[in-house]
Structure 1
Amino acid sequence: MWKFTVRRILIMIPQIILLSVLVFLMAKAMPGDALSGLIDPNVDPERLEELREKMGLNDPWYVQYVDWVKNLFHGDLGTSFRYKMPVTELIGGRIVNTFWLSLLSLLLIYLISIPLGIISGRYHDTWIDRAITGYTYIGFATPLFIFGLVMLWFFGFSLGLFPTGGSVSPGLTPGTFEYFLSKINHLLLPALSIALIATVGTVQYLRNEIIDTKQKDFILTARAKGASESRVYNRHIFRNSLLPIAAFFGYELTGLIGGTVFIEKIFGYPGMGQLFLESITTRDYTVVTSLVLLYGCATIIGALLSDIILSLVDPRIRIK
């Protein structure tokens, strides 16, 4: 097992290096530069050139990339040109909100998908299976940002059941019970919006696994020996069908990255996703490159976790 893990980590290293190069080149390919639109247009063009020279914006891309990587190893992600503060501090203030949103979304995904998948698989070709399958088809066809807007309009503006922006109500003291309830209240609607769409893949996968497992020889043998139907499902079918779901934990985690970017913007939730979109529109390259690199590394690590968990569940896939 440890050999598989080490090899998988070694494969991950060149992926991260390639990711960093691509992220940097794509950021440099964006129109304008960090000074575009942020300085009074009446400023002398010669002064702008002096600033670009001082900031290294006129250096060749590979020189800028090497300097950027050196700073990364020293924990320096640069300074935000919009917020005039270190990127590490800026991201540090947002990453906690995104973490809690992702965690609650992931919890809701499993709380919704596992029961629905089990019910749909056990009672397949019945009216309840058709209803659950219809829900998954609608979920597959519905863009997350459209669904988020509908949820915000209906539950936020029309019914007024949830806040329509922010991460906590103003004026509350951190650490108090009211503060905690306010944080949860601001998290529920965006997390539920993500979960109701992201859960459909897991529901379909679990349903198909249960239907397929019911036809296996060991299930037929258990029934032939007189095992009760509840024992067959609880001890054999469900156990074998749920194991692969655990292996998709890492992929579920990485799938949340794209979801939180749009949901945070729609709900005005101050997380990394909202910061990412705002940084793109303002050409804040240091923030953009840092966040894309962070998202990319999280995706690679999530895939690594899934491979490791899957190798524990099914040793046949391990690299020899």
Structure 2
Amino acid sequence: MGAYLRKRALTGLLVIFVSLSLTFFLIHMSPGNPVTILAGTDNPSPEMIEHLNEKYGLDQPIYIQFFKYIGNLLKGDLGYSIVSNEPVLGLILERLGPTLLLALTGLILAAVIGTILGIYAARKNGSKFDVFMSGMSYIFDSMPSFWLGLMLILLFATVLQSFPTSGMVDLRAAPTGIEYYISVAKHLFLPLLTVVLTQIPFFYRIARSSVIQTMSEDFITTFKATGMDEGKIFRKYVFKNSILPTVTMFGISLAYVLAGVAIIEIVFAWPGMGRLLIDSIMKRDYPLLMGIYLFLSISIAVTMIIIDLLYSIIDPRIKNT
């Protein structure tokens, strides 16, 4: 197990470094310059542009900037935001909690609900429930998340007037104690529901197809022919072999949700990293962009390591690969 974990950890570090390198060069080589935005005028003077480029090191060759960034990163210094002049680490940590609350909670709920529905539909293959759920999965899969969010606002906030439409807490009430958590839960409901409804179809279809495929295997047919209890067959053999694709899907979906939740955060004015990412892209805030992508890379690499460990627990044969 130790050698397996070290191998996966080294692979994760390599993925983070490659991702960081590609991101750095793509960001710095893309059109636009934070200095022209920071100057704040239509025709800034060449002296001002030169001074700002020198101040932020943008006048140096890109490879020099890269090595300096890596050197500072190894010291734990992510730099300062060009736009706000605040520490990048502080800005990210301030927004990280709300994003994890929305993305992880939504993804876990979607994985659990989608997998349960997919397994049940597979065991009732061809039934009315199976046909209905398969149709609903395609409908929700085709819905853009921002459109679904707007429709939920229209229904629950405008028509039913049950839930707030923006923010994380009611700033006018300034809640404290248990009232604060109740306020967060109310504000979280609609964006969380949007994430869950858009993610359930992935887990539903992968669980359904995996169970159907496993149940059609020859060894399952043999077990049935011997008279073994079908419940025991499912619990001991079908479920264990069918859950691996769902675990993989969870890791892939996490990478999507952490980045894709930005649109949902904008729709509901949720104070997470998604809005911070969009703002930093619009303003070409290089250090902040690099910090956000670094955190995304680390979170994805750590998640994949955890998934690999779960794989090795579910199927010990994987440790030998």
> Which TM-score applies when normalising by structure 1?
0.90
Alignment of 1:44-193 (within 5 A): 44-173=45-174, 175-193=176-194
Distance 1:259 1:220, change over 3 A: same
* Residue 9 to residue 229, structure 1, CA distance change in 2 (3 Å): closer
Counterpart of 1:206 in structure 2: which amino acid?
A: A
| Partner of residue 3, structure 2 | 3
Shift in alpha-carbon separation, 1:38–1:254, aligned structure 2, 3 A: same
Distance 1:202 1:247 in 2: 10
Separation in 2 of the partners of 1:14 and 1:128? 45
Cα 1:258–1:40, aligned 2, differ >3 Å: closer, same or farther?
A: closer
Q: State the 1:166 CA deviation.
A: 0.7
AA of the residue aligned to 2:116: P
Distance 1:262 1:184, change over 3 A: same
Query: Over residues 151-182 of structure 1, what are the superposed CA-to-partner deviations in whole Å (9 max), with x where a residue is unaligned?
Result: 33333334332211111111455651111011
Mark the runs of 5 or more structure 1 residues left unpaired by the alignment. Answer: none
Question: Deviation string for 1:2-22 (max 9, x for gaps)?
Answer: 222222222232322221111
TM score, norm. by length of structure 2: 0.89
Q: Which amino acid aligns with 2:268?
A: F
Aligned residue identity for 1:21: S
Fraction of identical pairs, as percent: 33
Counterpart CA distance in 1 for 2:44 and 2:224 is 83
Distance 1:175 1:99, change over 3 A: farther
How do residues 297-312 of structure 1 correspond to structure 2 at under 5 angstroms?
297-312=298-313
> How many angstroms apart in 2 are the aligned matches of 1:100 and 1:30?
32
Closer, same or farther: CA 248–306 of 1 in aligned 2, 3 Å: farther
2:254 is aligned to 253
- Residues 110 and 54 (structure 1), Cα distance of their counterparts in 2 relative to 1, 3 Å cut: closer
Q: Which amino acid aligns with 1:202?
A: F
Q: Does structure 2 retain, via aligned residues, the 8 Å contact 1:33–1:283? A: yes
Q: CA deviation at 1:287?
A: 1.1
- CA-based RMSD: 2.4
Supply the AA of the counterpart residue of 1:12: G
Residue 28 of structure 2 is aligned to residue 34 of structure 1: no
Q: How many residues align?
A: 320
Q: For structure 2, list consecutive stretches of 5 or more residues without a partner in the other structure.
A: none
Matched, 1:15 2:10: no
Secondary structure in 2 aligned to 1:79?
coil
Report the Cα distance in structure 2 between the residues aligned to 1:225 and 1:136, rounded to whole angstroms.
36
1:196 alignment counterpart = 197
Q: Taking structure 1 as reference, are residues 70 and 178 closer, same or farther at Cα in structure 2, changes over 3 Å only?
A: same
Deviates more, 1:275-284 or 1:236-245: 236-245
Runs of 4+ in 1 over 6 A off after TM superposition: none
User: How many Å separate the matches in 1 of 2:226 and 2:32?
Assistant: 73
Preserved CA contact (<8 Å) 1:265 1:273: yes
Matched residues in 2 for 1:153 and 1:100: separation? 24
Letter in 2 for 1:178: E
Q: Report the alpha carbon displacement of residue 190 of structure 1 after superposing the two structures with TM.
A: 1.0
Query: Contact 1:165/1:186 (CA < 8 Å) preserved in 2?
Result: yes
Q: How much does 1:66 deviate? A: 1.3
* Contact 2:175 2:183 (8 Å CA) reproduced: no
Could you tell me how far apart the structure 2 residues matched to 1:308 and 1:252 are?
A: 18
Map of 1:266 onto structure 2: 267
Letter in 2 for 1:63: I
Output the CA distance in 2 between the equivalents of 1:177 and 1:315: 44
SS of 1:255's equivalent?
helix
Q: 1:302, CA displacement in angstroms?
A: 2.3
* SS of the residue 1:133 aligns to: helix
Query: Once the 2 structures are TM-superposed, how far is the Cα of residue 235 of structure 1 from its aligned partner?
Result: 4.9
Deviations 1:85-108 (A, max 9, x none): 111111111101111112220232
State the 1:56 CA deviation.
1.2
